[in-house]
Amino acid sequence: MKSARCLAFSLGLNGLLLALCLYRAFEMRQHEAFVSEMTNRTIRAIPEPSTAGESLPTSHPEMIQCFHWSQIESEDYRVYAANLRALGCPEATVRDIIVADVNEFYCRRVNELVAPVQSRFWELMANQEQFQKLVDEKGKELDALNMQRKTLLRELLGTENDHSRADELANLEAREASKEFLDFLAPVKFEQCLELEQQFDAARREVANRQPPLAQNDLQAKLKQLQENQEHELNQLLAPDEMAEYKLRKSGFANLRDRLPGFQATEDELKQLVQIQQEFSVTNVFGQQQQRERMKDLLGPERFTQFERAQNPQYQEFYEVAERFEVPSQTIAEAYEMRKVAEEEAGKVRRDKGISPENRVAMLRAIHIEIGRSLETTLGAQAFAIYHSRSGQWLDQLGGSH
Amino acid sequence: MKLALVVSLGVNVALAVMASRNWAKRSAVPPRPVTEDHIPTQQAHRPLVPVFEPDPVTNRFNWGMIESSNYEEYVANLRAIGCPEKTVRDIIVAEVQKTYGAKSAAVPLDVKFWSCGPERQAAEREREERRSELRAESRALLQRLIGLDYATQIGERSDGLEMQAIFCFIFGPLPDHVTERVGLALEQGSSLGREIQDRSKGILLPLEKEQLSVLREQILASVQQLLSAEQFDELSRRFAALRLLDKGFSDFHVSASELRHIAGMYVSSFGPPLEGAFNSSHEEEEEGKGAPKESFEKKLEDFLGQERYAEYKRDTDSDFKNIQALAEQQALPRETAVKIYEIKTLFDAECHRLLENALLSASEFTAHLREVQDSMRSGLQQLLGDKSFELYVRQYGGSWVTNSVRP
């Protein structure tokens, strides 16, 4: 009797354990299917059919057996980021993965926000008042989402990572520009000076972006202080002639080198031109005349004319177009001179009271036709057509009698 | 019975071992229910889940094992560990963009600091060409690695959610993956188009015009491939409607179905303005298209009828918008705004007629126009009253009434 009861209990236990085994096996199969699709994205785009050659992993093939991405994914971004870091994933890559993932998540939230009004596109476009109301309403929700996203990214990546890739790129470009700026220094000083530049640039950015923002006066004072500190440090680092060169390059007049289309000058001439401009920066008419004389002495009369012409907006209009069509500089200068002559002629005709209205009209039309034809021949038909459409208003007015 | 009991006990032991193994195996996989509601936000205040603890198996793995200076190898390694394709893309696009962004920034301006004119311009052109080559190289690399023609450069894509909302609203209820791919195609067109435009410095050479035209056709073709004919038509009309509204159509009252119809006429006259949604290339081209513009205006006139077409011309005129703003500010009836506009239109026509008359001397021209101006001024003063008239002249574009008229 006792054996019979034991057998019955044992058989019962058999059934229970079998059921448990079957249940676990079923659950595991379900889970494996789920894991193979596992990602912390809930909606995924259909993967692009890859045209890339199927290259096989070449290093550490054993890892394929021992690790699967799904092991680090989590519903919780903090865990996901921590898991990536625990694996030794570089911080920049953690950032790339998390930022893209979080952005995608919030894009889906935006889609949910907009979905109810997608079918009302035409109705809303035809009723701008209603549309504006909707934009204001949804705009608030979007702002809230944006704020949430930024907060989450800060929490996950830290505030030191709170800058965009565009900012990083801008910093790189600024560094390259600094290299060009400091190219007059020997390698050791170059490096030291570059470091100093970057250090003070960072300090200036920090002051400018301080939260809460500094009052305008305080900001100016801080920036001025930084400028003085930088100059002090530079004075320690650079020899007097190097410091003079540094200051000349930093001068606001140094951008003259970017404002002389078609005008070639030596390094020495350009530096002297900037120095002269700097010298007469705050001046009167008399001073301006002196400045011109100094420049003329430096360049000689012919090249001084070229120098002045290069800065003339009317010449630059010709230059911008003609240069694209590879018209020689000399030809561009000729076109500019043609304009000057034509305008002078037209002015004379207009001012001459002895000419009858009929004759005046005829003479102005003749000038108009002649200059148009000459410019077309000089610049070429295509360049002239573009010049005419961009800057040819003076040409159209030339033929008017009034 | 004893034998049966022994067998049963043996089976129990075996089943118990199997069950416990299953249990242990299951416990090794962290549970990860994937629902959006569980994604943490600052508001959710979820407790921190313990981080990944390397077990004896995964302990053997670290990121260094998959990283490689060879991009192909890196991608293959990521795929081999089951990294989802979109994450592979996120990682690789970012890596390639950063690498090439840095390379591009580092291209030197091969000229001395103190240089100017043709020498400096040639160096700048050379640097731009090199940067353009690098952009092409990075696109080709991404195409090879992830099969995606990804032309967008760092900083070109806004990371704000507003653009996504606008996209989503314009695209309508398309499947997510279609929206994404159409978006990418348009971004590509926009990025490449901008590159050509930047290179041209606003002066497009015939070759560049041709390049833009080919690019436009390519983008349209790729978008067309992704959409059904109906979807493509709808999307084209929606972009056309945005363009029309941007050009002042929003001030002219039309019903939803009328707007959709007019957008269709725009598409049939100018072609689908898809790529123009993101840069100005289409707009610039459109300016030059005399015949399509005329065709559109003709269709519009036929559709609206002469009277409404005249209203449309008036309502979209900046002069009328100014006058309407004055009327709103001064609580004047709309009819008054319409009358003022008619007076202004008459004045412009008279000016034009006199300018055309080449036989008039400057003094005769001025005298004639002064006469017209005087009569119009008194009419306007009567219509508006002194206060509103003064405001019109000072702030709402009415200076033509009092300015001394010079030819």
pLDDT tens track for A39-73 = 333 332 222 334 444 444 455 556 556 788 998 98
pLDDT of the residue at A267: 93
Residue among B38, B29, B34 at smallest CA distance from A32: B29
Taking the C-alpha atoms of B87, B89, B93 and B94 in order, what is their torsion angle to the nearest 10 degrees?
0
What is the C-alpha separation between A384 and B123, in angstroms, rounded? Answer: 26
Residue among B52, B28, B81, B29 at smallest CA distance from A34: B29
Q: Do A76 and B49 touch (CB under 8 A)?
A: yes
> How many CB atoms are located within 10 Å of the residue B42 CB?
13
Q: For A128, which of B90, B145, B250 is closest by C-beta distance?
A: B250
* Any B CB within 8 A of A325 CB: yes
What is the C-alpha separation between A366 and A358, in angstroms, rounded? Answer: 12
Q: What is the largest CA-CA distance in chain B?
A: 135
pLDDT of the residue at B164: 85
pLDDT of the residue at B56: 43
* Any B CB within 8 A of A219 CB: no
Residue among A256, A162, A97 at smallest CA distance from B93: A97
**A68, B84 Cβ separation under 8 angstroms:** no
Q: For B90, which of A83, A100, A179 is closest by C-beta distance?
A: A100
In this structure, what DSSP letter does residue B333 have?
-
* Any B CB within 8 A of A24 CB: yes
Does residue A212 have a cis peptide bond before it, meaning omega lies within 30 degrees of 0? yes
Interface test with B, best of A108, A169, A268, A316 (most B CBs within 10 A): A169
Write the DSSP assignment of A316-369 as a string of letters.
HHHHHHHHHTT--HHHHHHHHHHHHHHHHHHHHHHH-TTS-HHHHHHHHHHHHH
Measure Cα distances from B133 to A294, B138, B143, B225, B344 in Å.
44, 9, 15, 29, 54
Sign of the C-alpha dihedral, residues B74, B75, B79, B82? positive
pLDDT of the residue at B267: 93
Two tokens at A201? 């640039």
Q: Do B40 and A58 touch (CB under 8 A)?
A: no
> How many CB atoms are located within 10 Å of the residue A166 CB?
16
φ/ψ region of A300 (left if φ > 0, alpha if ψ in -120 to 50, else beta) reads left
pLDDT of the residue at B8: 66
Instruction: List, for residues A369-378, the tens digit of each pLDDT value.
Output: 999 999 999 9
pLDDT of the residue at A145: 93
Q: How many residues appear in chain B?
A: 407
What is the C-alpha separation between B162 and A139, in angstroms, rounded? Answer: 8
What is the C-alpha separation between A148 and A130, in angstroms, rounded? Answer: 27
Residue in A with minimal Cα distance to B260: A122
pLDDT of the residue at B156: 65
Q: Do A271 and B365 touch (CB under 8 A)?
A: no
Two tokens at A278? 């700097």
Two tokens at B62? 């670290």
Q: Give me the residue label for tokens 């000459």.
A: A374
Q: How many residues appear in chain A?
A: 402
Q: Do B86 and A41 touch (CB under 8 A)?
A: yes
Q: Do A386 and B9 touch (CB under 8 A)?
A: no
pLDDT of the residue at B188: 85
Two tokens at B115? 């240089």
pLDDT of the residue at A31: 36
Query: Please, what is the Cα angle at A126 between A122 and A130, to 5 degrees?
Result: 100
What is the C-alpha separation between A349 and A110, in angstroms, rounded? Answer: 67
Sign of the C-alpha dihedral, residues A377, A381, A382, A386? positive
Two tokens at B309? 């077409």
Per-10-residue mean pLDDT of chain A, 402 residues long, equals: 66 69 49 33 32 47 72 90 92 92 91 91 93 92 92 85 72 84 91 90 87 89 94 94 93 91 93 90 77 93 94 94 90 94 92 84 89 95 92 83 52
Interface test with A, best of B41, B188, B352 (most A CBs within 10 A): B41
pLDDT of the residue at B229: 94
**B178, B226 Cβ separation under 8 angstroms:** yes
Q: For B98, which of A25, A127, A165 is closest by C-beta distance?
A: A165
φ/ψ region of B114 (left if φ > 0, alpha if ψ in -120 to 50, else beta) reads beta
What is the C-alpha separation between A98 and A78, in angstroms, rounded? Answer: 10
Predicted model pTM: 0.71
Query: Please, what is the Cα angle at A268 between A267 and A271, to 5 degrees?
Result: 85
Contacts of A282 (CB under 8 A, 6+ apart): none
Q: Which residues of chain B fall below pLDDT 50?
A: 22-58, 277-285, 287-288, 407
Question: With b meaning 16 or more CB within 10 Å and e meaning fewer, what string describes B255-277?
Answer: ebebbbbbbbbbbebbbbbbbbb
What is the C-alpha separation between B135 and B139, in angstroms, rounded? Answer: 6
